Amino acid sequence: MNLDGNSKQRQREAELDRRAKALDRWQESEWVVDCLRSKSGSPLKELSDEQIVDWHQKVEQR
């Protein structure tokens, strides 16, 4: 693999790692919030992976 290929591979791994951490943290957040939520007749708004990664970035920036 050339230098450019290595760099892209590293970027991809970093992105996957970031995504995995964000999803882990989101699950933890959901566990807490689920203890506090009341059941509702309307379905919960689902967040996309991108929204979860954005949420995680905001949490980390605090």
Which residues form the interface with another protein (CB under 8 A)?
21, 25, 28-29, 32-33, 35-38, 44-45, 47, 55, 58-60, 62
Nearer to another protein, 7 or 59 (CB): 59
* Nearest distance, CB of residue 6 and another protein, angstroms: 22
Separation in Å, CA 31 to CA 13, 26, 34, 56: 27, 9, 5, 15
User: What is the C-alpha separation between 26 and 9, in angstroms, rounded?
Assistant: 26
* Nearest distance, CB of residue 11 and another protein, angstroms: 18
